[in-house]
Copies of this chain bind each other. A is one copy, B any other.
């Protein structure tokens, strides 16, 4: 895992501070409440960020929800305690934190241990005169870079090995173990030189109280999924009882990160888009449309490769990956391919996507398989989409807790006969015989397994009674004489089958995708002829916040009506445009819009006034064509809806070069 330094779309080294400063200057995003000093992990999207987000969500809806007739629902963020207790979030959705007793600083325990040990290992390498290789950065690490300097101190070989082994398992320690590591290795907060307090669990959900009394605790949801699970039966009915089907939700979720520091990648409030695809667990989880995607090639980093300590990937058709068993089933594979196609469509760099399989210890115990779509950014490989097979876990726990039948009842094609051992109790005799324990003994009998019942039948016929363990009654064992009970094998006919569907869950972190997309589309237009280097965001037209910049050549009053008419025509076709009639030079105005990622520019000039023709400029090549308004608008439409590329348009319309000279003369 050596560093592959981050690069721009054109392969230039990525200057993250320059990009960040441009994104803030152009108001793609801005820290929330900045004039009040800001709050870590909270950001606002300004107009271009908001537009980019809306377009990506729109593309997501078309690609997933509309294409597959998914049932989109919109659920409450406020969630009562009991729901998240059942889902496991109240008990398990936590990080370990410790406090520095001297300055009160709160530290995330695993990050703290990891960082100090890494610094010691670096110090050891320095002391040994070895080259300190940076590992691939990941945001968990990056955010702590400012902590503690590296001191060149040589360590024993055994210590080095111990540290390395600890770091390899850092995600698996619980609070007590992290506390022991802190004591054992005497890990001190570099800021104060003291050991932090033992780690305590910090639940990552924002808690609040619903209603005026304080006895209705609630949380802001940490994911949109629970609302979809709770509505399962209604959704199934809405879908006219047809299986399989998927629900989908786009909405905010909240995680109270202990100390968020990786910009847009680790935030406390974020937009998620989640799909819950409900599928019959029997029949190998086939997908009816798998054939359509089977040849899509994905870059996979599977579990075995990671176990062997490598990060080497393979590019493989999803059909093959499922056939080989690398990916657990067709439905999961189908969604991996669809996720890939979606990321491609919105402009994610194809060389910066990989699908990483979760290690067994990363997955929840109930999960059958799980893959993350990771995007390469200057913070390293970032998990942007998770795609898990969650088995029947969620529906089962909520059904068990509430008694609601979160199941599918399916009419069998033909009735089936079921042979089974049945227990019948003679209630009239049972009560008088066992008195106050009657109900308890009866319940114990009813809960027995088929195997136990077979034993009982044997015992009854052989010895005239059966013996059953009933904790709390007498000495814990009860003898039931054959006068009170019949145990026999009977045949019953079933017309329906009941099952709890399994859930395949593609879950998208929209904010992370947006950030990765901005890095992937960014490049810098070299400083030709003494110009400063200028930033460009080469968003595909489909997701670009604004599609067309309209610039009048100068402030000459003749141009204004042409610009207005053009913007109205574009608006009618649903194409967003913006007129820039400021007094800046055309070059400066285009520059500003390169930074905003606007793919196309129209110039209205004196020729327009004469013959109604306009020029159309391509952001990426800065080439221009000239034609009449209708042909230009037609070309724009086809590029925005993705049916044509600039290259095709360029081939069809007459090229145009430099009107500025002529104009200077004429004005």
Contacts and interface: CB of A to CB of B under 8 A. Distances in A.
A75 interface: yes
Contacts of A26: 238
Copies in the complex: 2
Contacts of A254: 78
A576 B252 contact: no
Interface string A545-585: 00000000000000000000000000100001010101000
Contacts of A235: 27, 46-47
A325 interface: no
Interface string A32-59: 1111100110111111011101100000
Interface string A175-202: 0000000000000000000000000001
A69 B36 CA distance: 28
Given A76-B33, A207-B208, A256-B211, A571 B43 contact: no
A289 to B, nearest CB: 12
Contact of A106 (B83, B212, B406): B212
A30 interface: yes
B75 A571 contact: no
Interface in A76-100: 76-80, 82-83, 97
Given A30-B234, A46-B238, A66-B571, A269 B78 contact: yes
A73 interface: yes
A74 interface: yes
Contacts of A76: 32-33, 39, 42-44, 269
Contacts of A216: 39
Contacts of A46: 71, 73, 231, 234-235, 238
B97 A74 contact: no
Given A80-B33, A402-B35, A234 B97 contact: no
Contacts of A582: 240
A206 B78 contact: yes
Interface string A228-245: 001101110010100000
Contacts of A258: 211-212
A213 interface: yes
Contact of A35 (B44, B206, B404, B576): B404
Nearest to A251: B252
A227 interface: yes
A72 interface: yes
A518 to B, nearest CB: 15
A167 interface: no
Contacts of A218: 39
Interface residues of A, number: 76
Contacts of A54: 72
A398 interface: yes
A400 to B, nearest CB: 11
A220 interface: yes
Interface in A445-482: none
A209 interface: yes
Contacts of A49: 74
Contacts of A67: 571
Contacts of A240: 580, 582
A36 B238 contact: no
A268 interface: yes
A526 to B, nearest CB: 27
A652 B36 CA distance: 62
A269 B78 CA distance: 8
Contacts of A33: 76, 79-80, 83, 230
A398 B35 contact: yes
A262 interface: no
A151 to B, nearest CB: 29
A84 B268 CA distance: 19
A11 to B, nearest CB: 31
B78 A227 contact: no
A210 interface: yes
Contacts of A77: 252, 269
Given A47-B72, A571-B66, A27 B78 contact: no
Contact of A53 (B74, B82, B209): B74
Interface in A239-270: 240, 252, 254, 256, 258-259, 268-269
Contacts of A230: 32-36
A644 to B, nearest CB: 15
Interface in A521-564: none
B73 A44 contact: yes
B211 A69 contact: no
Contacts of A404: 35
A138 to B, nearest CB: 22
A100 to B, nearest CB: 12
A42 B226 CA distance: 15
A406 to B, nearest CB: 8
Contacts of A42: 76, 78, 210
Given A80-B39, A227-B44, A238-B27, A75 B208 contact: no
Given A42-B210, A206-B210, A212-B259, 8 more contacts: A26-B238, A27-B234, A27-B238, A53-B74, A54-B72, A66-B571, A67-B571, A208-B220
Interface of A: 26-27, 30, 32-36, 39-40, 42-47, 49-51, 53-54, 66-67, 69, 71-80, 82-83, 97, 104, 106, 202, 206-213, 216, 218, 220, 227, 230-231, 233-235, 238, 240, 252, 254, 256, 258-259, 268-269, 398, 401-402, 404, 406, 571, 576, 578, 580, 582
The 3 closest A-B pairs by CB, nearest first: A35-B404, A32-B76, A45-B74
12 contacts: A33-B76, A36-B80, A39-B80, A43-B76, A44-B231, A45-B75, A46-B71, A50-B73, A202-B212, A206-B208, A212-B256, A240-B582
